[in-house]
Structures are given as structure tokens and as C-alpha cells.
Amino acid sequence: MWCARPLHVKPVRLICLLLGLLLACHCQTISAATDFLTLGDGFTADTVPPQVRVRMMGRSMPLQLVAADSGRAAFASLRYLRVRHIDFEGQEQTGELVCHRDIAEDLLFIFKALYEARYPIASIRLIDDFEASDEASMSANNTSCFNYRPIAGRTVLSRHALGMAVDINPLQNPYVRGEVIRPAAGQPYADRTQLFAHKIDRDDLCYKLFRSRGFSWGGAWRSAKDYQHFEK
Ligand SMILES: [Zn+2]
């Protein structure tokens, strides 16, 4: 009997192993075959649809990048997200973002958690609605991600140019470097020792969620502070 038992178990284990391998291969085939992601009703990510590409071209997506191969390479790494959020008036809204595919799942997770906590986000619209003007989008307190642009005041490309950075409630969480404050309308919120609503600091849920998914925070930078900014 000591010999028979292992002989009886082994085929079962072998079948389980084969089924596991088959399932793993099948799942890989599914994820390779589809770019669609969802975390439930109102939280989806997919390739950038044609009508959104048109909105982006010549705005957040420079035409010279699109010209190379009809935009296939330029858009291949990007994902279009739709997320629900609660605005500053307590109203439920649907927002849209374009980000790099590597952080699409992170952003769905974070924005869903913020929505469930009723964390207020003033506006989540594509920066193309502001003609890709960072200053205009920030002044409108708009949360956004992809924008092919240099770091403010420099020639080096920002992580936003890859869709790997997100700015949250930028009016109350401005970029501050010495006397430079962006957006300019964020001046009343540059002094972070003050208490006010929608301030991102280390006790803030938004900060904690982004950090839990491996993002760094612009508010921790040394030479400049970018309190709205999270990047990977
Ligand atoms: Zn930013």
C-alpha cells in the first residue's frame, strides 16, 4: 500500500499541473489579445479610440510624432481611461484620462479608491480640452496625465510626455520654485503650513494611494515642490 498511494496521487498532481499550465497559457493569450481593463462599472481602460486620437493630435500629441507611421507607434503605449469621481460640489462625474499602459491598472485602482472614499477631485478632463496648455488646465483645477511637453521652464521632457505622471487638483496643489508658482492662481496655496481643503500632504488619502502603488510625489522634491504631481 505504501507504494500504491504515491502512484495513485501522482497522476492527479500531474493533471493539476497540466491544467494550471494550460490556464496560465490561456490567460496570457487573453491579456495579449485584449487591451481592455475594467475595475467595475465606470472604471475602464482601453487603447485610445480614433475620435480621442483626433482630439489629441496637434495638442497633447505633436503632429510630427504621429506623422512617422500614421500614429500607430505614438499611440501604442497609451491607454484611454474613464473614471468616476466626486467633484467639489459633491456631484458625481465621469472623467477621462490618457496615460501610459504601464500605469493604467494603477490609475484605475487609485481613482476607484478615491471615488469610493468620496475624495473630491474638481475636474478630470483631457488636457486637449485646454488646447494642451498646462497653465490653462491647472488654472481650471483640472486633473490630467499625458501631455507631450518639457518640464516647466526647461527643455527636458516631463514624465507627462510618456503618460507616466498625474497632476491632482493643481490649483490647491501648485508647483512652487522660489517665487515661481504654477498655476499663478495657486499662489494662495503655496504656503503649505496653512490649513485648507483639498491640500495634498503626507496624511492625504491621494498621497497614500499613489505611494502604495509605487509612485513618487513632487511634494517631496528638494529644489522645487510640485504638490499636485505623482509619477512613476
Ligand atoms: Zn505634473
Q: What is the DSSP letter of 185?
A: G
pLDDT value of residue 71: 65
Cβ–Cβ under 8 Å, residues 42 and 83: yes
Q: 42: Cβ–Cβ under 8 A, 6 or more apart, which residues?
A: 82, 83, 84, 94, 115
CA distance 147 to 162: 8
DSSP β-bridge partners for residue 81: 45, 97
- The answer to whether position 28 is within a domain reads no
**Parent domain of 180:** 36-231
Which residues are in the CB-under-5-Å shell of ion ligand 1? 165, 167, 229
Distance 39 CA to ligand 1 centre (A): 25
- The answer to whether position 156 is within a domain reads yes
pLDDT value of residue 32: 40
Q: Which three cell numbers stand for residue 67?
A: 506623422
Distance 105 CA to ligand 1 centre (A): 19
pLDDT value of residue 53: 96
Cis peptide before 49 (omega within 30 of 0): no
Distance 1 CA to ligand 1 centre (A): 68
The DSSP element (H or E) to which 98 belongs, if any, is: strand 92-100
pLDDT value of residue 70: 67
- The answer to whether position 5 is within a domain reads no
- The answer to whether position 4 is within a domain reads no
The DSSP element (H or E) to which 206 belongs, if any, is: helix 205-212
Distance 15 CA to ligand 1 centre (A): 51
pLDDT value of residue 161: 94
State whether the Cα torsion 111-115-121-127 is positive or negative: positive
- The answer to whether position 132 is within a domain reads yes
Cβ–Cβ under 8 Å, residues 98 and 126: yes
Number of domains in the chain: 1
CA-closest candidate to residue 126, choices 111, 107, 146: 146
- The answer to whether position 9 is within a domain reads no
pLDDT value of residue 194: 97
Query: What are the tens digits of pLDDT across the range 41-95?
Result: 999 999 999 999 999 999 999 998 888 776 677 899 999 999 999 999 999 999 9
Distance 58 CA to ligand 1 centre (A): 20
Cβ–Cβ under 8 Å, residues 177 and 144: no
pLDDT value of residue 172: 98
Distance 56 CA to ligand 1 centre (A): 18
Distance 42 CA to ligand 1 centre (A): 25
Distance 7 CA to ligand 1 centre (A): 61
- The answer to whether position 151 is within a domain reads yes
pLDDT value of residue 17: 42
Distance 144 CA to ligand 1 centre (A): 8
pLDDT value of residue 150: 77
pLDDT value of residue 65: 86
pLDDT value of residue 155: 81
Cβ–Cβ under 8 Å, residues 79 and 46: yes
Distance 170 CA to ligand 1 centre (A): 9
The angle formed by the CA atoms of residues 211, 213 and 218, to the nearest 5 degrees, is: 40
Distance 54 CA to ligand 1 centre (A): 23
Q: What is the pTM of this model?
A: 0.84
Distance 150 CA to ligand 1 centre (A): 11
pLDDT beneath 50, residues of the chain:
1-9, 12-33
- The answer to whether position 19 is within a domain reads no
